[in-house]
Amino acid sequence: MLLCTFLAAGPSVAIVAQAQYFVPPPRLRGPPPPGVMAAAMADGIAKVAFFFTGFQLMQGVSNLFWVPLMIKYGRRPVYVASFTLYTGIALWAGFATTYSSELSARLMLGLAAGAAECLAPLTIADVFFLHQRGAIMA
C-alpha cells in the first residue's frame, strides 16, 4: 500500500526533470525561436502532471468498483486480486515506450491501487478496538 501511494505523488517533485523528456532537442543551426522552448516545456509539464492527476482520479473512482466486491467476496480476495493486478500493470508501466502506453498504464494503476484506499481503514477497523484506531490510522 505504501508503493501505491508513492506512485501517486512521490515522483511529482521531479516533474520538471521528467517534462524535459518531452522537449525537442535544440536545432544545430541557430537558437530556437523565442517562446518555442518555453511552450514545449509547458506542454511537457502538462503531460507529466496528467500522469499523477489521472492516477489520483482513477484511484478515487475505483472505490465504486472495489467496495461492492469487498462486501460480496471479503477483504482478502480483494487484497490479493487488486495487488496482483497492480504488480502486473506496474510492470507494463515500467516497460512502456510511448506516452500513450505510459498514460494508459498509469490510469490502470490508479484503478488497481484504489483498493488500498478503502481496504486499509476497514481492515484497521476490524483488527483494533475503537479507542486505538485513531493512533493506528495516524
Cα gap 45→32, rounded to integer Å = 19
- Residue 80 has a pLDDT of 92
Q: Which three cell numbers stand for residue 117?
A: 484506499
Instruction: Decide: pTM greater than 0.85.
Output: no
Alpha helices (H) in the chain, listed in sequence order: 2-9, 15-19, 36-61, 63-73, 75-95, 99-127, 133-137
Is residue 120 within 8 A of residue 136, CB to CB? The reply is no
Q: What is the mean pLDDT of each run of 10 residues along the chain (138 residues)?
A: 67 78 71 75 86 88 91 91 91 90 91 86 86 85
Is the domain spanning 2-137 CATH 2.40.50.100? The answer is no
Question: What totals of helices (H) and strands (E) does the chain contain, helices first?
Answer: 7, 0
Is residue 4 within 8 A of residue 114, CB to CB? The reply is no
Q: Which three cell numbers stand for residue 131?
A: 479507542
Domain-by-domain residue ranges, the chain? 2-137
- Residue 8 has a pLDDT of 64
